[in-house]
Structure 1
Amino acid sequence: MKFFFLFTMALSTLLSKAEETAMLNFTNGDRLNGSLVKMSGDDIFWKSALLQNEAKFFLQQVQDITLPFFDTPQQNIDHVAHIRFNPDLRQQNENLPSDIIRGQLVAVNADNIILNTWFAGQLTINRNMVKDLEIFDIATPIYSGPSKQDDWKILPESSWEWELNRYIRRSEGMISKTFATIPERYCLSFVGEWKNDLNIKLQFAASDVEEETQNGYTINFNSGTTYLQKRSRDQQGSGLIGDYTRYPALRSKEKSVFRLFVDTSTGLIAFFSDADLVQQWNDTNKPYLSGKSIQISQPNGNTTPLTISRIVLSEWDGILPEQENGLHLNSINNPDPEKDEQRIHLRNGDILLGKVHKIENSEINLTTRFNEIKLPVSRIKKLALAPNEYDERLLQNGDIRAWFHDGDYVTFRLEEITADGKIKGYSQHFGTATFNPHAFSRLECNIYPLPGKK
């Protein structure tokens, strides 16, 4: 009861400061937009244009409250580190993704990892609880949105609805955007949410939808089967590229971060769901298409609900992300690490075996089997940090799951909301931290099922 009161007070403070309406999401799937009036005990009072008067709901009926979207502030950094924690007991049992937190890598020593973040300042992370660390170059987004309804063209106008910085499909139609410029190599990412089977068509490197003659690539994903088609004005190389591929993993999901990597100079195309490669293609028939339009739709006749949000277009360095389950190493050239060694993946594709001593001043100090070396952090792509002792987070009453806008989340025990609306929480991963609520898309409560319930 104490946690519910604290959680309701926290959300009341947060949402009273929001500049846009929030969304109340119920456990039975119903949704209601509007604004929070107040919370008292186990009740939530909600005001909406759809209701004549403010309404009261039981908090236990609420799955989460979606928070308004805010742009990420510009940061003067040259890399971003993704820290993935060891899975806790529930994540292991239910095959859930681990907590992930991102920031600029400041230092690594025997006990801790120091991370600078825009949303929580400097965090000191327990190294024994970290599974691995991945480092990415920073690419300034060419586009990030949607931030307003007309960011993308909706055809026909009634087919998609814009709500809380996301597009929701209501009937047959598409969302389309033609960019002024698109890099030779680029990455398009977006968050997709659906019910039951996922059915989606993603057209890219395409001509504008209003041009008389259409061309472009189209990825079709229908109930776990994916394939790529090419349509060219001169019909050169038009048709199916590669084979049909089965990807059943999405059958157990209703949300994913999708990433499309395109190299218009070589014809390389790759499609990822979260950290998994769904399929990779190579267009062997020139000319490679390089149109500036991107379109998202569903196959005609499909009625599956679909929501698209957090669309980001950015330049890509041409190096595909590493796949945890797809790494095939030569056993002679890449032997298994010995005790206290880590496998270190460099950005140029090389792999080192060594022991990481520390990271400071943007340099990594390590000992290989041959000598001691220093490398700039920006040259590292991924490394597994061998802990002195494996440790994982314990499940605690009062835990909430705070979802970042990119689809990752972090779990912590909510402690209080500060006077300026910040979220203060505690986790065994990083101790006590104070978060800027603009970092999160939603706060999820009731994250541990009661006995006998799923």
Structure 2
Amino acid sequence: MKATSYLATRRCFNSSGKQLFTTLLSATCASLLAIGGLAHADLIIEEAPAEEQEAAPAEAVAKDGEKPKEKSEPEKDAAVKSRIFLTNGDKLSGMPHGVDGQGNLEFTSESLRQKAGFPIDKVLSLELDTWKYRPRPETIARIQLYPSFGEASGDTLLGALHELTPDSIKLDTWYGGVISLKRSMVKSLQIISNGPGSYYGPNNLNEWTLTHGNGSWNFQNGALHSVSDGGAGRDVGLTEKTHISFDTQWKTSMRFRIQLYSSDVKDSSPDAYYDVNFNRSYAYLRTRGKVANGGNIARGGRWKQLNLPRDQTQAHFDIFVDRKTGTLTIYIDGLRACVLQSQSPDPENLGTGLAFVAEERYPIEISGITVTPWNGTTFPNQKFDLKPGGVPEAPADDTEKKEDEKPPHRIILKNGDEVPGTVGKVQDGRMIIETEYTPIRIPIKRIKSLSLGDDGEQPRKYREDVRAWFHDGGHVTLKLASFEDGKISGTSQAFGDVTFDLKAFSRIDFHIYDKKHNELRNDMR
């Protein structure tokens, strides 16, 4: 690869943000990786003028006391397609082109004269600005895999349910075509519809009401980002029994509130709500509203411990709520974390709104928000027997057991009914189910979820694994094979060889099992 010649201007700051000094250096792409830093540093790459390519760099910074010359026309900011984060703390905006045969991530920027190559072992993450609104289908299948050994959560994929067999679940996606997932590695399958009391997003900022005005929250790459104090709310038509799930990330400490059954999403302190306060490793429920005798109540309960690891900076939440009884059951990363009980359940003026409330000192990111009606009895299955992937099972006593004698699925409908049977193909928006007596066809929009049994298998880890984060929430892990032409290809024990459209992802992380690199990633957010 031909080295790119450029001038690098490095502005160094102390921890309080005061600029200490500015240095100039002339370097090649390889030397960019060796630049160190102080408390933090911004690396700005500027193209060297043609006449300076063969000469030493000229003075590029105004001397003390001199004002820099004003340009006749202001430069237009280039559209940022991505940012590359390096293991030494530096970052650069531009456009990724893929990984070449020597294992270098090729990257161009308006600040560079030509394409640069960064060795993959020096790349921490690639942040992508590729989100684009896509109309939601009437129903979406959300599949979550079992986590690999030592990981907090498994991969999550969204798409249209295509087919189920005794060994696989096929998902039709816009970003990867039809994906066949190994059934034993699927932890849960949930159907999300656009019916009453259902929501999936966020899709844009306009569909959310900001209690503290424009600028308190923003929308980027399919996620809501808090900027200052205040809430982001939406009337999602919460039903009497509801299931709310979402992914959240934080930088230093998990601290935010979620208001359920808000009577007014335009107000961060409405007249009535169930208010759940998450504060580091604890959760607390407060109830506000009118009681039957016309009085007002504002009561809280006891703090419940969550037992989150101190260094954790992201989590998937599932909250199951019974409005009448005031009972909230909270799962974090698929495990039951706590049960909160209102001391004054079901105030008469509760609404149907949902709101996330953040503090300026503790910014959060919310994505993959799912709201669906709940039957009041079904919770995530935790009674599974996990086996490492690739380990053969001991032969069963009945070696002659036929394939069609495998335990059937349990199809859970939105009204709480359960249908035992074996699911086959999905046609014309209906699921064909073979029951003991006769085949039946159930509209997918009437289905809440499918129970797939108690035995689970953990996907294997590979040294070359990367983790790609979807704009729509969740992530997928695969052993990287190629990255070119706007596509990323790889393999996973859970779904075999795949090729994904890069536009589906907001970020790609490298060296995902390295503790030091994960700490650097947490610091960069």
TM (normalized to structure 2)? 0.61
From 338, 348, 356, the equivalent of 1:287 is 348
Partner of 2:313: 254
Deviations 1:295-351 (A, max 9, x none): 4123xxx84x42223264645355576223389xxxxxxxxxx99436736335566
Tell whether the 8 Å contact from 2:281 to 2:306 is kept in structure 1 after alignment: yes
Which of 430, 433, 438 is matched with 2:495 structurally?
A: 430
Residue of structure 1 in register with 2:155 after alignment: 99
**CA–CA separation in structure 1 for the residues paired with 2:136 and 2:319:** 23
Match of 1:381 in 2: 449
Per mean C-alpha deviation after superposition, the further-off stretch among 155-164 and 239-248 is 155-164
The one-letter amino acid paired with 1:432 is D
Provide the identity percentage. 20
Shift of 1:227: 1.4
Out of 363, 366, 373, which is 1:309 matched to?
Answer: 366
Deviation at 1:444, TM superposition (A): 1.9
Q: 1:184 to 1:426 in 2, by over 3 A?
A: closer
- Whole-Å separation in 2 of the counterparts to 1:213 and 1:84: 38
- How big is the alpha-carbon RMSD for the aligned residues of Structure 1 and Structure 2? 4.7
- 1:2-29: CA deviation from partner (whole Å, max 9, x where unpaired): xxxxxxxxxxxxxxxx97543444557x
Q: Which residue is 1:22 aligned to?
A: 82
Residue in 2 that maps onto 1:227: 284
**Which of 120, 136, 139 is matched with 2:194 structurally?**
139
Partner of residue 130 from structure 1, selected from 143, 162, 185: 185
Unaligned runs of 5+ in 1: 1-17, 328-337
* Secondary structure in structure 1 of the residue aligned to 2:303: strand
Amino acid at match of 1:415: A
**Aligned partners of 1:398, 1:306: CA distance in 2, in Å?**
32
SS of 1:249's partner is coil
- Aligned positions of 1:15-164 closer than 5 A: 21-27=81-87, 32=91, 34-36=93-95, 42=104, 47=109, 59-68=120-129, 69-77=131-139, 80=141, 82=143, 84-85=145-146, 87=147, 91-92=148-149, 94-127=150-183, 129-139=184-194, 144-145=201-202, 147-148=204-205, 152-153=209-210, 155=212, 164=221
Kindly provide the amino acid, as one letter, of the partner of residue 207 in structure 1.
D
Residue by residue over 1:232-281, the C-alpha shift from the partner in whole angstroms, topping out at 9 and shown as x without a partner, is 37884523355432111364521123345556677565544343444344
TM-score, with length taken from structure 1: 0.68
| CA distance, structure 2, for counterparts of residue 363 and residue 442 of structure 1 | 37
- Write out aligned runs for 1:437-448 (5 A): 437-448=502-513
Whether the 8 Å contact between 1:101 and 1:410 is mirrored in structure 2 is yes
Aligned pairs, number: 403
Following the alignment from structure 1 to structure 2, what is the Cα–Cα distance between the partners of residues 451 and 262? 39
Cα 1:313–1:363 change in 2 (3 A) is: closer
| Residue 182 to residue 385, structure 1, CA distance change in 2 (3 Å) | closer
Note if contact 2:258-2:354 (Cα within 8 Å) is conserved in structure 1. Answer: no
Change (3 A) 1:151 1:159: closer
The answer (yes or no) to whether the contact 1:206–1:293 under 8 Å persists in 2 is: no
1:217 counterpart SS class: strand
Change (3 A) 1:245 1:33: farther
Q: Is the 8 A contact 1:134 1:381 kept in 2?
A: yes
Check the 8 A contact 1:263/1:318 in 2, yes or no: no
Q: Which of the residues 274, 280, 301 maps onto 1:217?
A: 274
Change (3 A) 1:106 1:450: same
Work out the CA distance in 2 between the residues paired with 1:453 and 1:241: 37
For residues 268-287 of structure 1, what are the structure 2 equivalents within 5 Å? 269-277=328-336, 278-281=338-341, 283-287=344-348
**Which residue matches 1:240?**
299
Quote the residue 2:391 is aligned against.
Answer: none
Say if 1:381 and 1:375 are closer, same or farther in 2 by CA, change over 3 A: farther
Larger radius of gyration: 2
What's the counterpart of residue 237 of structure 2?
182
Taking structure 1 as reference, are residues 394 and 244 closer, same or farther at Cα in structure 2, changes over 3 Å only?
Answer: closer
C-alpha deviation, 1:82, in angstroms: 1.9
Give the structure, 1 or 2, with the largest relative contact order (CA under 8 Å, sep 6 or more). 1
Measure, in 1, the Cα distance between the counterparts of 2:122 and 2:239: 49
